[in-house]
Amino acid sequence: MASPASATSSRPSAIAEIRNRIRSAAANGHTALDRGDLADLLAAIGASFAPSAAPIAAGELRISLDNTREFGIVISAGIGGTDAELDEGNFRKDRASVYAVAELTDAADFLALFRRSIAYQRLVAASKRTGGVTPDAALTSCFEGMLALARGLSPGNPESTVVLQSLELNPATVGTDISVGSARCEFSTAAPGRLPRPIAKIEKLIHPKSIGIIGVSSTNMNFGRIILKNLMGSGYSKERMCIIRPGEAEIDGVRCVESLKALDHKLDLLIVAVAASAVYDLVDEIIATDSVESVMLIPGSLGETRASREPAAALAGRINAAHANPGGGPVFLGANCLGVVSHPGSYDSWFIPLERLPKPKKKAERNSVMLSQSGAFMITRISQNPWLDPRYMLALGNQTDLTHGDMLAWFAELPEIETIGIYIEGFKDLDGLDFARAVRKAVAKGKDVVVYKSGKTAPGMGGVMGHTASIAGGPVLFDSVVRHAGAIVADDFNAFDDLFYLAGALHGKKIGGRRLGAISGAGFEAVGMADSIESETFAMEMGALEAATVKQLEDILKAKKLDALVEVRNPIDINPGADDEAHLQIVEAFLQDPNIDAVVVGLDPTAPSVRALESSKLRPGFDLTDPKSTAHLMPPLVERNEKPVIGIVDGGSLYDAMSARLMDQGVCVFRNCARGTKALVRYVEARLNADAIRRRRSN
C-alpha cells in the first residue's frame, strides 16, 4: 500500500487516515496493526523501516507512546536496542529516558526534554564525528506525528471509542529521517471512565455554613466526640452544628436530630464517624435523601483489607453513579480520612485532641494548602515543622470519590493560595492525568506545587496497598511526568518538608537566574554551600562579583578590622570574628550585585561576636534582645530585597530561639548549610521551569 504521506504539509490527513485504520481494525476484533499498516504509520510520522540487512548503529533509540493506567498516554524517548534493557536506576534522572504526558507537551518541548538524555548526546556526538546533519529536525517531525496520533486515541479524550495502548519504535536511528528496526502498535476499545465529580462542592466542604456529625457518643470520648470537641475548640459555632443521633436532645450543648430525613435544611457538610460496617447503608441513605452537599468519611478499613475491597469498590460505584443525578449528588472525602483543618472555615475536624497537636499561627498570612492521602503524614509534618502553617489541611484517605486531581484543580483556582504540598500513595485510574493537568493549571496561575509520592520500592508499594487501598505506580515515570508538568518532586520526607517550607517562604521573591552568593564565618560551611549547588537535573553556579561589589566588601571588612583575615571572593569565609552587622552588611552587598540571584548566609550562632543566645550570662544584654542582633536586623533586610535569602543557623538546641525568632518574622532559616543550599537549588530549578511553562502558554 502506498504511503499516506511523505511531506509535512499532508501530515494531518495522513495521521487521520492512520487513526481511522486503527478504529476499523479494532471494530474487526484486532488489537495490533500489521506490518503494512505499520509502514504507513511510520511514513505518516516521518519514519520508515530500515532495510533488514542494515547494521546495528551506535546511537540506537527507543521512542514510544504508552497508555499508562494513571497518566493516560505518555510519550517517552531514550536509549534503545539492547541498552534499553538496562535498569534506569543506573543513571541520573532524565539520562536514560525522558517522559511526558502526551497531552501536556508538544514536539519542541519534548525535544528540549530529550536533549538531557544520553541517547540524544550520543546522536549529537555521532553527527559531529561524521559531519552529518543534526538530529533535531527528524526528531521534531517524529515527535510531532506521534503526539498528533496520541491526541485522537487518548483515554482522556471522551470522544475516542478506541484507545492507543502502545506505539514503540525500537531500535530507531536518526539521519535525515528516522530509520526503525522494529515497531509495534497496539490498541483496544475504550473503557467507560468515572463520572466527573462536582468539585465546586469542595467549597461546601472547606467553608461549611452547617455541619452535621454521625457517630458521637453521649457517654464516651470516642472519635466522633473528639471531633465534636475539636470543632467547638476551633471556633465553629454550636448553633451551626447538629448531631444525628436518635433518642438524644443534645450532646455538649449541640442539638441532636433523629435522622437525616428529620433535618430541617440541607447540610453543607456531614462528618461520618461510625464503624466501617455501617457506612455502606448510610451512604445509600445520604444519596437517597439528598440531604447533604459534602461528606467526610472517617472510618478506615474500607478497601484496605482483602475482604473489604469488593464491597468498597461497589460503594465507590454507587457514589460515582450519584454524580449523574440532578445537581451532581454529594462529594465524599475519604474513607480512612483523618479529616480537615480549615482556618478560614473556622473548623478542625481532625480526631487528634488539640492538646496533642496545637496549631499556632506562624505566618502573617496563611497562604498554603496541604493535601495528604495519609493523615498521619500531615500530623508529623506539622508537629515537627509548625512554620509550614497551612491555611487548609485535608486528608484524602482512600479517594473513594474526591481525588488528588480534583482537590488540586479546585485549589489551583483560589487566588489566596500560593503553595500546595501534596503527599500521594497512589492514583485511581487516570487520576494521574487529572493531577498532571491540575499541576500545570496551578503552575500557570503562579503557584508552587510540592509533591512527595511514596511506594518507591516493592515493599513500599505493598505498604501503600495495605494502608489506603491505593495502587502505587512506577517511581521513575511519576517523577518525570509530574516534574515536567511543573511540580517540585521531593525525594524523601525531609526534602518534602524543606521544599514546602522554602516555597512558602520564597514564593514572593524574584528568581532571576541560577547565580548564588554564599557567605559564612566558617570555612567548612562556605565549602559545604559550594559543594551543594548541583542536583541530578540542575546546577546553580557561584556568581562572579562585580568590581564595585568587591570594593564595597573590602570597605566593610576594613571597618570591622577583618580585612587582613578575609579574602573577598564567592563563596566568602568572613571569619568567626564577624559580628551580626558584618554578616548582614555583606549579605546586602551581595544582594545588590547584578551577578547574584540568591544568597545563602551562615549566621554563625556559636561565634562569640554574634548575638545568638536567648540570654547571655557572660555578657548581659548581648543577646537576641539587643537591637543590633541578627534577630532584629535581618527581617527588614529580607523584606526590602526582592532576591531570596536563606539563613543558616547551624548549632544545637541552644540556638532554637534564634531560629524561631527569625522564622516567626518571615526569614527563611535552615539548620544545616548543605540541606538549605540543596533545597534552594531544587526550588530555583522548579521556579525557572515554571517560568518557562508560563511563557510557552502565553505564546
Average pLDDT over residues 544-551: 98
CA distances in angstroms from 495 to 191, 503, 677, 682, listed in the order given: 38, 12, 12, 10
> Lowest mean pLDDT: which of 120-124, 583-587, 622-626?
120-124
Q: Which domain holds residue 43?
A: 8-189
Confidence of residue 430 (pLDDT cuts 50, 70, 90): very high
d(CA 339, CA 341): 7
Read off the pLDDT of residues 593-640 as tens digits, 9 standing for 90 and up.
Answer: 999 999 999 999 999 999 999 999 999 999 999 999 999 999 999 999
Q: Are residues 284 and 148 in the same domain?
A: no
Q: Where do we find the cell 474487526? A: 28
Q: Are residues 292 and 426 in the same domain?
A: yes
pLDDT (0 to 100) of residue 456: 67
Rg over alpha carbons for the chain, rounded to the nearest Å, is 29
pLDDT (0 to 100) of residue 354: 81
pLDDT (0 to 100) of residue 457: 58
d(CA 680, CA 687): 10
Q: Are residues 426 and 390 in the same domain?
A: yes
Which CATH number do you get for residue 667?
3.40.50.261
pLDDT (0 to 100) of residue 473: 46
Confidence of residue 160 (pLDDT cuts 50, 70, 90): confident
Q: What domain count does the chain have?
A: 3
Would 126 be classed as within a structural domain?
yes
Residue 84 pLDDT > 80, yes or no? no
d(CA 451, CA 444): 17
Q: Are residues 351 and 484 in the same domain?
A: yes
CA 572 to chain centre: 34
Q: What is the mean pLDDT of the chain?
A: 92
pLDDT (0 to 100) of residue 1: 35
Would 194 be classed as within a structural domain?
no
Q: Are residues 529 and 493 in the same domain?
A: no
Q: Are residues 134 and 261 in the same domain?
A: no
Read off the pLDDT of residues 39-64 as tens digits, 9 standing for 90 and up.
Answer: 999 999 999 999 865 555 557 899 99
Residue 198 pLDDT > 60, yes or no? yes
Would 385 be classed as within a structural domain?
yes
d(CA 405, CA 410): 9
- Nearest residue to 269 (alpha-carbon basis) of 220, 342, 219: 342
pLDDT (0 to 100) of residue 54: 55
pLDDT (0 to 100) of residue 128: 85
- Nearest residue to 174 (alpha-carbon basis) of 122, 102, 105: 122
Read off the pLDDT of residues 314-369 as tens digits, 9 standing for 90 and up.
Answer: 999 999 999 999 999 999 999 999 999 999 999 999 888 888 898 999 998 999 99
- Mapped onto helix, strand or coil, the DSSP state of residue 106 is coil
Confidence of residue 678 (pLDDT cuts 50, 70, 90): very high
Q: What is the DSSP letter of 182?
A: -
Which CATH number do you get for residue 77?
3.30.470.20
Q: Are residues 483 and 570 in the same domain?
A: no
Q: Are residues 335 and 475 in the same domain?
A: yes
3-state helix, strand, coil in the chain (%, to 5): 40, 20, 40
d(CA 491, CA 93): 12
Residue 303 pLDDT > 90, yes or no? no
Question: What angle do the packed helices 375-384 and 493-506 form, to 10 degrees?
Answer: 60
Q: Are residues 107 and 140 in the same domain?
A: yes
Would 696 be classed as within a structural domain?
no
Would 699 be classed as within a structural domain?
no
pLDDT (0 to 100) of residue 455: 78
Which carries the bigger pLDDT value, residue 57 or residue 98?
98
Q: Are residues 285 and 369 in the same domain?
A: yes
Read off the pLDDT of residues 499-546 as tens digits, 9 standing for 90 and up.
Answer: 999 999 999 999 999 999 999 988 899 999 999 999 999 999 999 999
The residue among 189, 222, 249 that closes a domain is: 189
Q: Are residues 177 and 87 in the same domain?
A: yes
Residue 394 pLDDT > 60, yes or no? yes
Residue length of the chain? 699
Would 697 be classed as within a structural domain?
no
Tell me the one-letter amino acid at 217: S
Q: Are residues 494 and 577 in the same domain?
A: no
Would 698 be classed as within a structural domain?
no
The residue among 461, 479, 506 that closes a domain is: 506
Residue 281 pLDDT > 50, yes or no? yes
Do the beta carbons of residue 117 and residue 561 sit within 8 Å?
no
The residue among 506, 530, 552 that closes a domain is: 506
Would 2 be classed as within a structural domain?
no
Q: Which three cell numbers stand for residue 214?
A: 454521625
pLDDT (0 to 100) of residue 499: 98
